[in-house]
Structure 1
Amino acid sequence: MPTTSFINRCIRETLNGLRDGLSLFSKPSRAAVIFSLRRKQQLQICDPQNLLRGYEPKLKNIYLENSDWKKNIEEKKPDYSFNLIDPLANLQLDGLISCGGSSAPVFYQMWFTEHHPNLCSTGPTECWLEHAVLRFSHDIANDSNLYTGISGSFLREYSSHAVHDYIVDKANKSLGPDCQIRIYPVLDAVLGISKTNEEGVRPFGKLTFIEPRFLGEIHFLARFQASEKPLLSNFKHVRKLLQAVEYSTHHLVSDGTTILGIATDPIRQFHITADFQGRFGFLKDNDEVLCSFQDGSYSSNTHRAKLFEVEEALLDFEIDTATRNDLFKIIAALVHYAEDNTFGCTFVLDLAKTPADTAGQSLTPPLIFMTRTS
């Protein structure tokens, strides 16, 4: 049986690595874990940054007031491998992402982190927590004699692996386990191309990766001859080719190794798209945004202002729902346009019957937002 000091060390180093890695991938993040090594042992909670503060009633209902949380968990024999882990469902706590599992070394473990409002997708973060489950199970199985202490370091640098794991999960669900595109070279190429300037300008345009088996179904506008296909690893060449699809609905198409040609929308087959937008870009699986990339690394950042304060302020005014929604959409579109074009802006939304005097140029007659009538 592992000693208390060894368990504490495993938890501390895993939590620190998980927190540091997620803080780089998303905004500053906290992490916590609830675990029990054996069915009959009491649950232990490690929450050094009070992530679970405020969730006490819900956690009490789940863990103390009934035993449903462990009813369907089978305690495995000690000789079972540490990586035979039965996944446990997300606890569905508002504002949190959770993931857990049960294995022979650790009967129950559930890891938590914050659900930031500006996440492109929760998928990579969930994969991150899944790996924390695996690392903790591995460390407890090895005991202190074989403990390497690398779990925290690995989780700290897990961003590309988390994106990779999520894409592989999605591809397996859509295509089965025989996906031919190698994801790691694709992820490396996307970052390499994103950092390659052409005439001092960062790349714009879409680079789409498609399974070779689907290429016959793609509508190509132009294709390279087999002997002249540019290599995906030639970042500078690919960067030049992206100029052919800038600010259009066209895509550069790759099989994960070479550039095949230029295709047009829509592409209905399973595909991965890197949407380069200058200083940053987005990685998409079909139409789902998985993550963004900027400065040579992947991130969960949407690069879009959420405008929560504006949304809350509009709720204070007595206007109908349709008008409120239209106002918010207009404001959001203007702000996002300013963000995309990297210039500052200030918008004054005055809903008073008599507009207030504000500095700046005035229009005659003033622009009037027409409310809808039924």
Structure 2
Amino acid sequence: MDTRRNFLQKMAVSAVVLPFLPLSGFSSVRKDPVPEGPLLRVAILGLGGYGGRVAEAMQSCKRARLVGLVSGTPEKLSTWGTRYNIPEKNRYNYENFDRIKDNPDIDVVYVITPNSLHHDHVIRAAKAGKHVISEKPMSLNAQMGQEMVDACKKAGVKLLVGYRMHFEPRTLEVVRMRKNGEFGKIMFFQGQCGFKIGDPTQWRLKKDMAGGGSLMDIGIYAINGARYMTGEDPVWVTAQETKTDPVKFREGVDETIQFQLGFPGGAVASCLSTYNMNNLDRFYLDGQKGFAEMQPSTGYGPIKGRTHKGELTQPVVTHQTAQMDAMAGIILHGEKPEVPVDGEEAVKDLKIIDAIYRACRTGQRQELKL
């Protein structure tokens, strides 16, 4: 499974080493694609492994451009600044980050830090008058997520979340077919998301930084996928946790969770999130007239899949390039994505996550009102 965090897990060293490699080792010279109207000017906050992936992908964007950097590591600011031609005045650390409010060169801040930091960083960016993109999960729980939504509304800025799959062509084809009734009445969804996590000292295995374990990291793909694949929000959830290594997966850090969702139209979902099994990256949607199967379903690509009508053959894209170009349209022109990516969408996922953890603790079905 090559999701964002799996990539980070496998490339743990790169989050530290990558920014310090000789510039000649990079193939990241700006390609300067022909702009399509106004450019969304983006500052990345958090220069780790995934921040690097986003920065690289943005070199091919037609509607968005990387213009700013925020990091607590001076060496990264220097190396990345040189690499991406970011002027000194557009480079910030976490202490002086609030001064970004006086910088007219930057439209939006993309927060790509550990989960526990999203809340503070998003609210600070909003108070500085900048639009915000937050990586997912948007925060540690639904209450904190709602505070982020409220802060952005109060500041009059947009809050989007890095749901890259919402812009992936083969995923969108399945969504289109479902909306057009080509699967008939939706009956069942299955989402399997997981990988065997490595370094036991990483932040993803620390509750105070991650907010949980596999569910917060990889399980959110199945949660969100269940919603956009069925086209409904669930009304109840049940869940069971399995832990085989309590040393690696300490209290509050889930190893494996199975959860079930019920939808108002009668469909049910059976999902699995794990940090202890590889080869799990599969969505399956079943309707009365047909089906869709995607494997891999949420990795960096290429996404592969088939339906009862045959193989999915839509173009293969770099997810982060497509995401950032689409988000430029949302922020600059008020365009509406096929699948929402706003803060309210993320709060719904956080409410489901909260309910799954409650179900694991109590053994009882949890009713949902999203």
TM-score, normalised by the number of residues in structure 2: 0.25
TM-score, normalised by the number of residues in structure 1: 0.25
Choose between structure 1 and 2 for higher RCO, CA contacts under 8 A separated by at least 6 residues. Answer: 2
Question: Greater CA radius of gyration, 1 or 2?
Answer: 1
